Structure 1
Amino acid sequence: MPFKKLHAHLKEMLASLEITAPTPLQSKSIPVIKSGANCYCTAPKESGKTTTLVLTTLQKLKCEEVGTAPRAIVLVENREKALEANDAFSKFTRFTEVRVYMCDDKFHIDVLKSEIFEGVDILIVTPKTMNKLLLLEGLNTRQLKIFSIDDAEFLAQKSAYTDLMAITQSIHKCQYVIYSEKINPMLTRLETHFMQYSKKIVV
């Protein structure tokens, strides 16, 4: 059972949320993501994709605060999706030192830069804002361990896809996990860029 092999804090929080058994997606994907492989996780709505993202990210970071540079990136379509992801993480990061920072696109980029500089473990951000931060040298990606893309269908937008290509060229090495309801040709095309040798989990 995937939950039995998770960090003790995560098991405790799952119990407090009365989540006792993994969904089919979680059963298939959690062990693969824990192995360190690049992975496509494809499943319909309400199949546990966001919880999988949260659990595997926190597992990768061992539920602890380390250094100042982000060790995990969660790429989302817009501010609304960023807020949803932030809420999902907050359920599991209570009682930990893990620092989750949501880049609010309503704030000036210099404000975001200065707050990230204070120290972040998990960064939730849109492609446009992350690309800006990288161009302005406001983001250090050298400690990055895992880069997840939530509801990745939005990458069909040319501007988001272009920003993603620029972002990944700035990252030396990390694990990539893409969550979506379907794998479309655009997502498949990523295999020729940064999703080489990726595993496909389909529910």
Structure 2
Amino acid sequence: MPFKKLIEPLKDVLENKGFEAPLAFQKLILSRIKGGASLFCIAPKGTGKTTSIILSVIQKLKGKAFEDAPRALIFVKNKQAALDLELEFNAYLRRTDLRVYCAYDEKNIDDQRNEIYDGVDIVIATPKRLNKLYYLNGINLNKLQLFIVEDAEFLFTNNNLAEISRTPESIGKCQYLVFSTLFDSRFERWQDSFMYNAQVIKFK
């Protein structure tokens, strides 16, 4: 997907940043994501995976806030990763009214429930905190359109794979995107369940 097919606010940000065209890996995945495909996006660091997440989410949500329930959920390994991704999102949100929220373990969960209840579009969450919020009826996943895992290597520590694997049981039709530097054989569990029709895109 060339950048010219993005919504105007994104094109403006990319132009201001001096980005004229997608990187080689982004050319492989952005049009597929826009088309609604679920993907395992496997590529080394520095190939534009994080920017692809940001562009795809904002494009999918058309840069517009909508009602109260989140439409995009992005799993990250810890608080710092959540805050870093939020900061990067904010650089692309000019001229949009999308609301980004970070949910991580170190913050008071009652405060998080109240803040999410006020309305969010994009939630960046650690797996354990997202599940706690869900089981406390602190987040509504019924409107979810995008389920994303950033830097998915962290899934294979601290029971994170099991934590995240439970979440799709609570949501309906959704697009799944997993970004990683390698395709681990344990991803095959997801291919046998909620990501059974996902494409594997590998870039070296």
Question: Under a length normalisation based on structure 2, what TM-score does the superposition of the two structures give?
Answer: 0.96
After superposition, what is the alpha-carbon deviation per residue over 1:57-79, rounded to whole angstroms, capped at 9, x for unaligned? 11110011000000000110101
Q: Counterpart of 1:22? A: 22
User: Could you tell me the percent identity over the aligned residues?
Assistant: 39
Does the CA-based 8 Å contact 2:152-2:178 persist in structure 1?
A: yes
Q: 2:182 aligns to what?
A: 182
The alignment covers a number of residue pairs equal to 203
Q: Is the 8 A contact 1:75 1:124 kept in 2?
A: yes
Contact 1:37 1:175 in 2 (8 A): yes
SS at match of 2:73: strand
What is the match of residue 162 of structure 2?
162
The alignment status of 1:60 with 2:60, answered yes or no, reads yes
**1: CA distance between counterparts of 2:166 and 2:197?**
21
Residue of structure 2 in register with 1:126 after alignment = 126
1:103 aligns with 2:103: yes
Contact 1:2 1:26 in 2 (8 A): no
SS at match of 1:69: coil
Unmatched segments (≥5 aa) in structure 1: none
- Supply the AA of the counterpart residue of 2:68: T
| Cα displacement (A) at 1:2 | 2.2
Amino acid at match of 1:181: T
How far residue 158 of structure 1 moved from its aligned partner, in angstroms, is 5.1
Residue type matched to 1:96 in 2? Answer: T
CA distance in 2 between counterparts of 1:202 and 1:6 reads 24
Q: Structure 2 stretches of 5 or more lacking a match?
A: none
CA RMSD of aligned residues (A): 1.1
- 1:18 offset after TM fit, Å? 1.1
* Corresponding residue for residue 74 of structure 1: 74
TM-score (norm 1): 0.97
State how far apart, in whole Å, the 1-side matches of 2:84 and 2:187 are: 23
Q: Which amino acid aligns with 1:20?
A: E
